[in-house]
Amino acid sequence: MIEINYDLLDYVSRKAKESTRKRTNYNFHKSYDECVQRFLNAVEPGSYIRPHKHTDSNKIEIFLILRGKVLIVEFNDEGKIINHTVLNFESGIKGVELPPNTWHSLIALEENSVLYEIKVGPYIMETDKVFAPWAPEEKTIEANKFINKILRTCTI
């Protein structure tokens, strides 16, 4: 039995804060070959998850909020926001399921935010996701501007 408790949430949040990317994963699956990939995704404000999609026809992705508040954003093929929701542990939406071929990103709105993420496996880094050509790369000034534009556009 694997317990997800406050000590584990504190641990992954601390690791995310120490990371230059302001996020970290904690895997429950033993191998990337497993048909279900399950992990904690700790994300801090200031982290940038470049919009991407999973093109494999069975590659759904599920996010469940365990702590904090996270904005989930869907885009069309041109980069226009078509849907968004806030996952909030204290109140509101607790999770979302994204279908394959959906451009998406997430933005932490509170410190110590932790998601439980479930994806169809196996995980193959080279083919897992396609990054949006209209979204800036990580660690650029444009990425910060992009995040701020999303936050101004979405009703939170």
Question: Is pLDDT of 16 > 80?
Answer: yes
1, part of any domain: no
Instruction: Enumerate helices (H) and strands (E) in the chain, giving the number of each.
Output: 3, 10
Specify if 129 maps to a domain: yes
How high is the pLDDT of residue 137? 95
Q: For the chain, how many structural domains are there in total?
A: 1
94 falls within a domain: yes
How much is the pLDDT for 72?
98
* CATH assignment of the domain containing 142: 2.60.120.10
H or E stretch at 91: none
Residue 54 included in any domain:
yes
Left (φ > 0), alpha (ψ -120 to 50) or beta: where does 28 sit? Answer: alpha
Q: Is residue 124 part of a domain?
A: yes
Answer whether residue 57 is part of any domain.
yes
Smallest Cα–Cα separation from 50: which of 152, 113, 144, 120? Answer: 144
Give the model confidence (pLDDT) of 99-128 as tens digits: 999 999 999 999 999 999 999 888 888 888
Quick check: 46 and 19 in contact, CB under 8 A?
Answer: no
Handedness of CA 74, 41, 5, 30 (dihedral sign): positive
> Is a pLDDT exceeding 80 seen at residue 156?
no
| Domain around 35 | 6-153
Let me know the angle formed at the C-alpha of 58 by 55 and 59, rounded to the nearest 5 degrees. Answer: 60
97 conformational bin, left if phi > 0, alpha if psi -120 to 50, beta if neither = beta
